Each structure stands twice: as C-alpha cells, then as structure tokens.
Amino acid sequence: MGLGTDHITAATNAVFIPELWALDVIEAAESSLVMADLVTRFDDLAAEGGSKINVPKISNLLAHSKEAETEVTLNATTEDEVEIALSNHKEVSFLIEDIAQVQARPSLRDLYTRKAGYAIAKAIDSHLLGLYSDLAQSVDATGELTEDQLDAKILDAMNYLDLADSPNEDRFMIIHPSAKKKLLAVDKFVQMTYRSGDEANAPVTTGLFGELYGMQVFCSSNVPTAVVEQQTIYQNTVFQRGAFALAIQLGPRAQANYIPQYLGWLVTIDVIYGFAKLRDMFAVNFKTD
C-alpha cells in the first residue's frame, strides 16, 4: 500500500530549523561573553525600539548644616546624559550543502553554531574592551617589575576607583593572557586564586582567573593591544560595573533558508546593539607588556 504524499520533509519541517539554530547560537554566544556580563545593561530599554538610549548622569548631592529657624539649602545641579547609539549590526552567515551535512562527523550544525556564537560574542566584547582608549586614568605596569612592584600597581588602580567613590561591589579586572602569566608568577596572587575552591568558577569554564583584593579577574584574548616603540602593550582594564554600558536590541537571531540551487541551508545570525562609557572615573586602563 502506498504511503501517500503527506511526508515530513526538510521543507515542511523548516519552521523548526531556525528556532533550533537560534537557541544553540544564543547559548554559544552567552558562554563566550566576558565583558557583556560585567557591565550595566539596558537591553529592556533597547527592545522598546528607537535608534539610541539617553542615560542621565546624576550628580552627587551635598549634605548641608541646618541651623535653627533657617531655610534648607538646596542642591543646584546641572545634569548631563550619555548617549548609547544602537548602531552596531553584526552578522555571521554561511551555507551548508546537504552532502556536507550528511557526511560530516561531528555535526556541522554543532560546529558552526559554536563558531557563530563566538563570533557574535567577540564582536560585542571587543567593542566594550576598546573603550579603554577613552579613559582618563591609567596605570603603567610595563617593564621588568618585582612582585612587590606589580602588587603596588594593582593597588594604584584600585585606589583610583576608591577616590572616585566607586562601589566596592562589582569590581572587575580584565587581563590579557600575557598579563595572566605575569600574575601567576606572583606567589601571593596564586594563593588568592585557589582560595575559593569553587569549580564552577574555574578558569577553564568561565574565564575567571580568580579574585584579587575583592576584584574578580577574568582573562580574555580580546584585550586590545598597541605597539609602542616596537613593543606590544596590552590594554587591560580595571573597572566597576557602572563604568560601561551595553544595550542589545535584537538577537542573537538566527534565520535559515533552504536554497535549492545550492542544495543547502543558508544560515544567518545577527545582533543589533549599542555600547558606551558611563562613568570615566570608575575605570582604569592597566597597561602591561
């Protein structure tokens, strides 16, 4: 007896494919993000539409002495705002032919999902890490430093945040692998790294290097570099969460179309986002070589 014509095929089942891609790509992107999880987020506002977000900068207020039978003293402030332009649209596209998908082991979908997720995450993290170039505060930890000198440089960076009245909570340090190598050579820092014993926060799973003086330290190869007098300088960053902002307006979104001419699936993953520096004094450019 014939089976009829109501078969489930790639064409009839196509509606499920973009959803699967989207879930996998989002998971892969989130697991690769470092900076994006450490800054102030405005995703909800961005999702409401528009091409930019204006974030007001609220000045500190002063407490005044109140004498008997006198009026209160008003705080007169002139406020400013920071603009987050939602102008970054990144995409990752590729086409997988049927023969390649069928014969590949492991699954090409799994391989390209991770690659696409990482590419999206790297674009976002690189933009945030690139904000170092506009910071007013910096600490130069280049050159041959003793353990005590390197320790003092880190304390100098922390002191900048303290002087700016930055909250003690949510302070972070993002370092290049070369800077991580320097820190691992300092006995004091190695001992601090292994104090928590929390496997969930191990470097192999999260990029978390450890904790120094209450700061969570992450290692990322996306840390920018600059060449000064033929020497590579790594632009690491010490900051509090309120220093930088990120607003993801769309995505990561996955879309897929079957292209008969090529007998394969064209997959595109894209994301729309904006980023900005919120508080200059809450961040320090920490230079190493």
pLDDT tens-digit readout, 109-144: 677 777 887 888 889 999 999 999 999 999 999 988
State residue 31's pLDDT score: 57
Q: pLDDT band for 15, please (50, 70, 90 cuts).
A: very low
CATH architecture of the domain 137-244+280-288 equals: 2-Layer Sandwich (3.30)
Whether omega before 252 lies within 30 degrees of 0, making that bond cis, reads yes
More confident residue, 132 or 74: 132
State residue 192's pLDDT score: 55
The answer to whether residues 245 and 42 touch, using CB atoms and an 8 Å cutoff, is: yes
Per-residue pLDDT averaged across 65-90, rounded? Answer: 81
CATH 3.30.2400 domain extents, the chain: 16-56+81-128+245-273
Q: According to CATH, what is the number of the domain 16-56+81-128+245-273?
A: 3.30.2400
Question: pLDDT averaged over the chain?
Answer: 80
4 phi-psi bin (left φ>0, alpha ψ -120 to 50, beta other): left
The answer to whether residues 250 and 272 touch, using CB atoms and an 8 Å cutoff, is: yes
CATH 3.30.2320 domain extents, the chain: 137-244+280-288
Angle (CA) 82 86 90, round 5°: 140
Label residue 36 exposed, middle or buried (CB < 10 Å: 0-12, 13-18, 19+). Answer: buried
pLDDT-wise least confident of 189-193, 230-234, 285-289: 189-193
The tokens for 221 are 């190869």
User: Is the pLDDT at 4 greater than 70, yes or no?
Assistant: no
Whole-model pTM? 0.78
Q: Provide the greatest CA pair distance for the chain.
A: 101
